[in-house]
Amino acid sequence: MLSYIKRYKFQILAFLTFSVVFLSISFYLLTPKKKLPIFNPSDVNPELVDSTVQHVSKYHTIADFSFTNQNGAIITQKNYEGKIYVADFFFTTCPTICPIMQDNMVEIQNAFKDVQDVMLLSHTVMPHIDSVPVLKKYAVEKGVIDSKWNLVTGDKKDIFYIARKSYLAVKTETEGELYDMVHTENFILVDKKRRVRGFYDGTNKEEINRLIEDIRFLITEKN
């Protein structure tokens, strides 16, 4: 047996090398590659989407916007051009899910505080209460990094429409005044091309971990 191995050692070595290479390539080809979906209005619960865009099934992107942040600066889509960002909807006096959501936003902020390509954007659904000074106070309390995270207010109608036509993430009151909004726990992941790539429960730690991993994936995504 030993003499046989010595005689054919080069052939055996070549076979073993081929086997290792073949198995490695097969494993690579058969392993599912991570891929994040691109969401359009027709893919989402219609309760969260304005009726005028519910039929849209492709090419959906976040519309242009103009709001005022916690420092009184005008924030537009230009501030987020070429950025990956997480958007949400909240109000500063919310006693239930908002404190948990904003604490989790802080966690995301800290995870990417040194990554310029990642930002955050929080919209108030109660602009009549959340003035610039109120947002500033809230931002200081939460440890918001101004260059990383904008808390914005603006015209109620504009916030309403971007929530339901662009981010596909806010419910409406069944009764009440026009443009009444009931924010959800959704965090919305937007890529560098202004496309919606994911929805996450902003109150759930496992979902936050998944969101952080998906952001890291988008940073390396080629298309």
d(CA 84, CA 120): 9
Identify each DSSP E strand in the chain by its residue range.
Answer: 66-68, 74-76, 84-90, 118-124, 149-152, 170-172, 181-183, 186-190, 196-201
pTM of the model: 0.83
The whole-number pLDDT of residue 7 equals 56
CB-based contact 120:148 (threshold 8 Å): yes
Determine contact, residues 120/86, Cβ cutoff 8 Å: yes
Q: What is the CATH number of domain 41-220?
A: 3.40.30.10
Distance CA 167, CA 189 (A): 9
For the chain, give me the number of helices (H) and strands (E)? 6, 9
What residue ranges do the domains of the chain occupy?
1-31, 41-220
For residue 180, what pLDDT is reported?
Answer: 81
Instruction: Please count the CA atoms within 13 angstroms of the CA of 127 that sit on its side-chain side.
Output: 17
Query: To the nearest whole number, what is the mean pLDDT of the chain?
Result: 87
What pLDDT does residue 9 have?
Answer: 52
Query: Would you tell me how many other CB atoms lie within 10 Å of the CB of residue 78?
Result: 10
Angstrom CA distances, 197 to 201, 214, 216, stand at 14, 9, 13
Is 98 annotated for ligand binding? Answer: yes
Tell me whether residue 60 is annotated as binding: no
Residue-wise pLDDT for 136-174, tens only, equals 999 999 999 999 999 999 999 999 999 999 999 998 876
94 is in an annotated binding site: yes
pLDDT of residue 1: 53
- Counting as low any pLDDT under 70, the low residues of the chain are 1-34, 174-178, 223
Dihedral angle over CA of 173, 169, 206, 190, nearest 10? -160
